[in-house]
Amino acid sequence: MATAGFTESQLTVRDAVSQLCARFPNTYWQEHDQTEQDPADFHAALARDGWLGIALPEALGGSGLGISEATMMMQTIAESGAGMAGAQSIHANVYATQPLAKFGTPNQLQRTIPNIISGKWRVCFGVTEPNTGLDTLRLSTIATKQADGSGYRVTGQKIWITCAQVAAKMILLARTTPLQEVRKPSEGLSLFCIDLDRSQPGLEMRRIKKMGGRAVDANEVFFDGYAIPADSLVGAEGQGFKIILHGMNAERCLLAGEALGLGYAALAKAAEYARNRNVFRRPIGQNQGIAHPLAEAYMRLEAAKLATYHAARLYDASKADESIRQDEIGVACNSAKYLAAEAAFAACERAVLTHGGMGYAVEYDVERYFRECLVPRIAPVSREMILNYVSEKVLRLPRSY
């Protein structure tokens, strides 16, 4: 990757994180992928050196950097060979804590954030539901307020919740007013930061078998009258959607960075193999049929990189500059996620093909990257929904759904 144009702090982050990641080589991730074992020591190593607090306020033990630096961190992690598995093992800790830090009460923050930064508590993010999918506003998990004021009882089902098995906390989006009783679907949603106490009644989870990133768990989570205290509510009741939007653009940037990292890692492996593998008594990379697609993959990654760090910069700058519009940031972050995911996919696919049969062997890593590179195309928002968004918001075309 060309590093011209990055700030000094981004380069410092890149350098320091890649040093740390060097202790967790590709073989570590191969093994964890095969045994489906959580990379707990990797999470712990990042926590010990303070990386989980990269974009959290200094007053709470964080380092007060922006999404521009956090994106660089996520890219560097994925690029080290840790891939999406490594990234996902900490992803929610970095970004789902953003709305909490912004809207939580001082007491909530003091209680939770330092424990998350130190790695004592891991976090997962619970939004997606099986029956509503991308139509987030129609989600139906409900948190019912108890008459005695003791708190809420949660009932409903979440799906694809990454790291729920190992998390102590969940940032949960649930309805506090049923859909039938609100004027607009965006109303009546509330955000909670809840304990995942498996010894309490009404909480079950089931691991989902999946294609890639097998080291980290993804789960169906079932709530059935699960009790949470009143002070798990983050921000005002009914304002959950607005609050969570704050984190979503940041998440798009982080995921774009993760996709880029995976793409660059795959490309590096492919180029190395193409230089060294001799068939017909010359390196396969001498064939333009091998070289050109790799060159193209590089240019796509570079272009997506510019889009990604542009979006992150806008996001960070908007904190001090009110002339930057929210929809402008939304378009930039969504575009970046889309472009980075597609560029990563192209690079990973090419990397497998470049390796020929060895591309299919676990030992060469690119099959793992390839399996993982579909995630940024699907989550947290699909390619189609981004195309819908840009059609509607930028091109002012009629909404199709």
Ligand X SMILES: Cc1cc2nc3c(=O)[nH]c(=O)nc-3n(C[C@H](O)[C@H](O)[C@H](O)COP(=O)(O)OP(=O)(O)OC[C@H]3O[C@@H](n4cnc5c(N)ncnc54)[C@H](O)[C@@H]3O)c2cc1C
Q: Which residues bind another protein (CB under 8 A)?
A: 12-13, 16, 19-20, 48-51, 53-54, 58, 61, 63-65
By the rule CB under 6 A, 378 interacts with ligand X: yes
| Binding of residue 162 to ligand X (CB under 6 A) | yes
Please tell me the distance from the alpha carbon of residue 39 to that of residue 44, in angstroms, as a whole number: 9
Selected from 178, 384, 394, 397, the binder of ligand X by CB under 6 A is 384
Task: Quote the CA–CA distance of 239 and 234 in Å, as a whole number.
Answer: 9
The smaller minimum CB distance to ligand X, of residues 128 and 144, is found at: 128
194 is a contact residue toward ligand X (CB under 6 A): no
Burial of 390 (0-12, 13-18, 19+ CB in 10 A): middle
User: What whole-number distance in Å separates Cα of residue 298 and Cα of residue 3?
Assistant: 14
Q: How many CA atoms lie within 13 A of 41 on its CB side?
A: 9
Interaction partner, residue 375 (ligand X, another protein, none; CB < 5-8 Å by kind): ligand X
**What does residue 263 show for φ and ψ, rounded to 5 degrees?**
-60, -45
Q: Please, what is the minimum distance in Å from the beta carbon of residue 106 to another protein?
A: 21
- Supply φ then ψ for residue 76, to 5 degrees: -65, -40
Choose from ligand X, another protein, none: what does 218 bind? Cβ within 5-8 Å by kind: ligand X
Nearest to 383 by CA among 328, 327, 332, 341: 341
**In this complex, which beta carbon is closest to another protein, that of residue 61 or of residue 283?**
61
Report CA-CA distances (Å) from 295 to 100, 268, 391.
Answer: 42, 11, 30
126 sits near ligand X (criterion: CB under 6 A)? yes
Q: Does 279 bind ligand X (CB under 6 A)?
A: no
Nearest-angstrom CA–CA distance, 157 and 205: 10
Query: Does position 185 bind ligand X by CB under 6 A?
Result: no
Q: Which does residue 49 touch among ligand X, another protein, none (CB within 5 to 8 A, set by kind)?
A: another protein
Q: Which does 60 bind (CB under 5 to 8 A by kind): ligand X, another protein, none?
A: none
128: contact with ligand X by CB under 6 A: yes
333 binds ligand X (CB under 6 A): no
The candidate with the shortest Cα–Cα distance to 52, out of 27, 77, 22, is 77
**H/E stretch holding 40:** helix 40-48
Least Å distance, CB 48 to another protein, is 7
Residue closer to another protein, measured from CB, 62 or 330: 62
* 399 DSSP assignment: P
Among 28, 99, 379, 389, binds ligand X (CB under 6 A): 379
Which among 126-134, 179-187, 189-197, 284-292 is the span making contact with ligand X, rule CB under 6 A? 126-134
The partner in contact with residue 20, picked from another protein, ligand X, none with C-beta cut-offs of 5 to 8 angstroms by kind, is: another protein
Query: Phi/psi class of residue 164: alpha, beta or left (left: φ > 0; alpha: ψ in -120 to 50)?
Result: alpha
Q: Is 161 in the site for ligand X (CB under 6 A)?
A: yes
Site residues (CB under 6 A) for ligand X? 124-128, 133-134, 160-162, 213, 218, 375, 378-382, 384-385, 388, 401
